[in-house]
Structure 1
Amino acid sequence: MTTVAPPTLLIVTGMSGSGKSVALNTFEDLGFYCTDNLPADLLPHFVRSLGSGDGSPQKLAVGIDVRNRHRDLANIPSWLSAVAELGFDPKLVFFDTADTVLLKRYADTRRRHPLSHVGLALADAIALERQVLKPLRSLADHVIDTSELNVHQLRRRVITELGLGLDSSPSLLFESFAYRRGVPPDADFVFDTRGLPNPHWDPRLRPLSGRDAAVRENLDEQPDVAEYFAQVAGFLDHWLPRMRSDTRSYVTVAFGCSGGRHRSVYLAEKMAGHAREHGWEDVATFHRELD
């Protein structure tokens, strides 16, 4: 008699700035149905709504962290039990990072900490978050320390730690960035998109990013963009396969523009799709100015 494994639910939690967004993107690339910043009290309702009927996703990943009401986080154990009663196999994955590394990451990205709205200095906000999340860390099925991991290494660690399978070819990361904040230090290939038409100058497109359909459609119509993409794709199609036999486990391809929102994001996403169409299985995107 064949035993059918229960559907999987991964609860992604941990310190802000520890790589939870990268983890959720990784799970999505592996076929998980993902959502971030779900109110914790809605967890059983969310699972129930997706877990019934034909074609329901068998792999879910949900981000729940300090952005929730703190009193709700204390009820996570009972909500995990409720999810288990619905037939799912819930796993809590906690991402942690040393305080000194978090301070540097926030300084580098200039992002606001989720608890900064209460008037705390960054170090104090990190300390409070660690205190609030301590019970969740003690409950975690997996604790992943990202202090010494870059984006590639974190992605691989997530896949191997959770036994999600991984082929032997290098993982590809297509990253976007703004030149005014510097070139990513770990990039293997860097392409400058600042010579292409800039959607920033269209008031309708300025608030959007290269992820949005309106921006994609605008750039798709530009002959210079099509020519640029074809030339870069041809270069990468020729050279990336050579790295399959190399000892390296990952390759970063970075696209830069002035603000890191439109052209570079569009090309990173489009090139990632192109790589998947050409047989690369472990492909991810990271938008430094957006993520």
Structure 2
Amino acid sequence: MQLVIVTGLSGSGKTIALRVFEDSGYYCIDNLPATLLPHIQSHVANRDAAKVAVSVDSRSIAIESLPDILQTLKTQHIDVHLLFLDASLETLVKRFSETRRKHPLSTPNQALAESIQHERDLLSGLSNLGHHVDTSNLSSNTLRNHTRNWMLQLEQHYQEAPSHSLVLSFISFGFKHGIPLDADFVFDVRSLPNPHYDPVLRPYNGKQAPIQQFLQNEPVVLEMQQDIQHYIEKWLPGFYQDHRSYVTVGIGCTGGQHRSVYLVEQLGTYFKQQHQVMIRHRELHETQVLTKP
């Protein structure tokens, strides 16, 4: 069985993500208590469901025991993956205010921001157990596309069935829009030559030839790229030894259009030779899975 657990903060997009799996043929269960997860295989055995997606939220009984439950599921030969959705406090407050929804942990004596922080504390031990996505700057459609691409990567993982694999995720972003919450490492490339100041180059982005040619002709850009590559190569084995399934590397420039996009594309191409790679351009609202040759 292939099992996907969708969890994270209320208002971060769990329902949107779960519907992507439902539309793709997964048998979906919304808001299942965490204590029932070890029994999921027997529950769906008569439904011919090889692919199951379950959402678990902070109200679940024994949510703090989810890390141990994941290990139990793996001993049952279930290929289990966790998708953790997150968002900034400001974003979540705005979303709840706009929709006039009540936060699931709210009380008469607790403000909305306090309820959100309480939930973040409850889920703090789960964010590094799987694929962590910051949805603060993602539209609903962008989140759907990102979830769909991640799901396709899971399908490939399931078919190959490696003993242990690690997904290396690169995300480009603009510092003026905030640092992504899901990044394990963040590299600041704002010191590199900026195509934004050339009126001819400004309309293009780092995936397009004019920007690529400009940056390829700057030796300091190649030097930065190589330094980042060496750093990741040096420390990535430690994440394998720690049995991490996902590592996210953020590359940030000022606006997230040129330098960071270019370097994420270069790094993704370099590392896909040995690793499963996903690249995301936050400010371009694009996600792509790079497969090994």
1:160 aligns with one of 135, 149, 153: 149
Cα distance, 1:65 vs structure 2: 1.2
- TM-score (normalizing by structure 2): 0.50
1:67 aligns with one of 52, 59, 62: 59
Unaligned segments of structure 2, at least 5 residues: 156-293
Residue-pair matches, total? 155
Distance in 2, matches of 1:77 and 1:30, equals 27
- Residue 35 in 1 paired to residue 29 in 2? yes
Q: Is the 8 A contact 1:159 1:165 kept in 2?
A: no
Q: Is the 8 A contact 1:48 1:86 kept in 2?
A: no
Q: How does 1:19-168 map to 2 (within 5 A)?
A: 19-50=13-44, 52=45, 56-69=48-61, 72-117=62-107, 119-139=109-129, 141-163=130-152
Q: Which residue of 2 aligns with 1:184?
A: none
Distance in 2, matches of 1:46 and 1:8, equals 11
Aligned CA-pair RMSD? 1.9
Q: Which residue of 2 aligns with 1:279?
A: none
Q: Is the 8 A contact 2:64 2:122 kept in 1?
A: no
Secondary structure of the residue aligned to 1:114 is coil
- Return structure 1 stretches of 4+ with deviation > 4 angstroms: none
- Residue 18 in 1 paired to residue 12 in 2? yes
Distance in 2, matches of 1:10 and 1:118, equals 34
Q: Is the 8 A contact 2:18 2:28 kept in 1?
A: yes
Unaligned segments of structure 1, at least 5 residues: 1-6, 167-291
Amino acid at match of 2:97: A
Q: Is the 8 A contact 2:64 2:123 kept in 1?
A: no
Cα distance, 1:84 vs structure 2: 1.7
Q: Percent identity?
A: 41
Distance in 1, matches of 2:16 and 2:118, equals 23
Q: Is the 8 A contact 1:18 1:146 kept in 2?
A: yes
* 1:39-73, Cα deviation, whole Å (9 max, x unpaired): 110111123221x35x621111111111113xx11
Q: How does 1:179-194 map to 2 (within 5 A)?
A: none
Distance in 2, matches of 1:47 and 1:65, equals 20
- TM-score (normalizing by structure 1): 0.51
Distance in 2, matches of 1:43 and 1:165, equals 20
Secondary structure of the residue aligned to 2:53 is strand
Q: Is the 8 A contact 2:91 2:136 kept in 1?
A: yes
Distance in 2, matches of 1:89 and 1:37, equals 20
